Amino acid sequence: RKPRGPPPRLPPGPPRLPIFGNLLQLGPLPHRNFASFCAEYGPLVYLRLGNVDAITTDDPEVIREILVNQDDVFASRPRTLAAVHLAYNCGDIALAPLGARWKRMRRICMEQLLTTRRLESFAAHRAREADHLVREVLGTGALVDLRRVLCAFSMNNVTRMLLGKQYFGGGDGSPGEAEEFLRITHELFWLLGVIYLGDYLPVWRWFDPFGCEKKMREVETKVDRFHERIIDEHRKASGADKGEMDFVDVLLSLPGEEGKEHMDDEEIKALIQDMIAAATDTSSVTNEWAMAEVIKHPHVLCKVQEELDSVVGRDRMVAESDLVHLNYLRCVVRETFRMHPAGPFLIPHESVRPTTLMGYHIPAHTRVFINTHGLGRNPHVWADVEEFRPERHLPVNGPGRVEISHGADFKILPFSAGKRRCPGAPLGVVFVLMGLARLFHCFDWAPADGTGPEDIDRAEVYGMTMPKAVPLVAVARPRLPWHVYNNIGVAHKEVM
């Protein structure tokens, strides 16, 4: 017999319809809808999305409770159809539910791939990619399509380390291969970001009116073929021929589970895919937003360049060792993460068992939308939320280093916290700081001709990451002495 008594008290939330629950209250920018629910109903809101229980929050204390104090309860992931089709049946790290498999894959990532020693061994590649970024801008002419160059910068950095290839800019991949790679990864990102109604209303899957699940299956096949080819190429080229081991070589050399000589191909593919998806878009989207905000605020550009000139000088390119000394640029990145976090909801978490949160009952398998976009614009947490003001992050007690990941106060959360925190955060910070430092040091920037700083808009598109709706183009003018560009292989005639 069930104990008598009132039903457990759920957090407050908007009224819901039968069957659909609150689904019809969500528009194309659900993070904004969720933030308005929090403004109306309080820091912790309950939603019913079709047949799924969900909660959302944009409050530092609730977030700390979820990600730190009750990490054991909330660190799982929902088994969405995108995770089944596009992440090898949830066999990766990022979309896998909590369990032995996730633990093993995450351990491989931390102990074999993203170790300090291995990341240092790719430092020379990263420096070459930073030079390549500068050459790309110089070669483009005055008007620069920043989305394209930043996307190529992130992709090349990741694929050099992961696959031993530079896809963009006359590297080892053929132009056709680069195009295919880009097309597949874009389709993959898009599908991973979609809120697919079939995950909330099982009957939707019968009709699938927009062919979303069909598209997932098509992309699944294409992605799998692509990974298959990468693994084959690596098996054919021996480690000795290549001189150094990329991540795929490392994975091919590791033993498998239960005494198997090697890891299964499927496990390797799932890991490759995670790294590409987690590392490329996050850093290039952040860089595009940071460039947009700085060009929109010319006084910020002046301060960034003053700092670069005083720390690096004008006689050489920025190196990785300079990045820790660029405190104002680090504030720019923190402010960018406050206003434009790469993932608007982190990657949604799920509770593994019933629990009590802030005095409310939360059922098992509740989907958790931590609204980092709402957190950065929560007026109870930040003053002047719509103002891009990097200075707000300068340390109050003297000249300490500005940390880019979250602080003890949980007021920004670019890489999350707890069991699911981003294992690539240190590398992600380097990709972002290095790209920006080179672009601001080497060039003066202005909005495209005929437009002013105020015309750079902040409209975003919802997805797994949240890019600018209108890609950023801007005018670049070299600002260093010519010999500095010549030192990275730019002939005079190439200079714009």
> What is d(CA 9, CA 469) in angstroms, rounded to the nearest whole number?
40
Question: Closest CB to ligand HEM among 168 and 485?
Answer: 168
Closest approach, Cβ 43 to ligand HEM, in A, equals 18
Question: Closest CB to ligand HEM among 332 and 427?
Answer: 427
Question: Closest CB to ligand HEM among 25 and 416?
Answer: 416
Coil, strand or helix at 145: strand
Question: Closest CB to ligand HEM among 268 and 422?
Answer: 422
Closest approach, Cβ 21 to ligand HEM, in A, equals 23
Question: Closest CB to ligand HEM among 415 and 485?
Answer: 415
Closest approach, Cβ 428 to ligand HEM, in A, equals 3
Do the Cβ atoms of 281 and 189 come closer than 8 Å?
yes
Task: Return residues touching ligand HEM (CB under 6 A).
Answer: 93-94, 106, 109, 274-275, 278-279, 282-283, 286, 342-343, 346-347, 414-416, 420, 422-424, 427-428, 432
Closest approach, Cβ 315 to ligand HEM, in A, equals 30
> What is d(CA 168, CA 173) in angstroms, rounded to the nearest whole number?
8
Question: Closest CB to ligand HEM among 101 and 205?
Answer: 101
Question: Closest CB to ligand HEM among 80 and 283?
Answer: 283
DSSP 297-334: -HHHHHHHHHHHHHHT-SSS---GGGGGG-HHHHHHHH
> What is d(CA 247, CA 157) in angstroms, rounded to the nearest whole number?
13
**CA geometry: angle at 16 spanning 11 and 22, to 5°?**
90
Q: Which uninterrupted H or E stretch holds 294?
A: helix 265-296
Closest approach, Cβ 425 to ligand HEM, in A, equals 6
Which residue's CB atom is positioned nearest to ligand HEM?
424
C-alpha distances in Å from residue 46, one per residue of 14, 357, 368, 435, 477: 8, 11, 10, 40, 51
Question: Closest CB to ligand HEM among 136 and 350?
Answer: 350
Closest approach, Cβ 337 to ligand HEM, in A, equals 7
> What is d(CA 287, CA 339) in angstroms, rounded to the nearest whole number?
13
Question: Closest CB to ligand HEM among 120 and 309?
Answer: 120
Closest approach, Cβ 215 to ligand HEM, in A, equals 24
Do the Cβ atoms of 293 and 331 come closer than 8 Å?
no
Buried b (16+ CB within 10 A) or exposed e, 258-291: eeeeebebebbbbbbbbbbbbbbbbbbbbbbbbb
Q: What contacts 24+ positions apart, CB below 8 Å, involve 249-257? A: 249/164, 250/112, 250/113, 250/118, 251/108, 251/112, 251/113, 254/108, 254/112, 257/104
Query: 422 a known binding residue?
Result: yes
Closest approach, Cβ 40 to ligand HEM, in A, equals 26
Q: For residue 362, what are its two tokens?
A: 């939360």
> What is d(CA 143, CA 282) in angstroms, rounded to the nearest whole number?
24
Closest approach, Cβ 492 to ligand HEM, in A, equals 35
Q: For residue 456, what are its two tokens?
A: 């750079």
Residue for token digits 């598109």? 461
Q: For residue 467, what are its two tokens?
A: 């890019």
Binding residues for heme: 422
Binding residues: 422
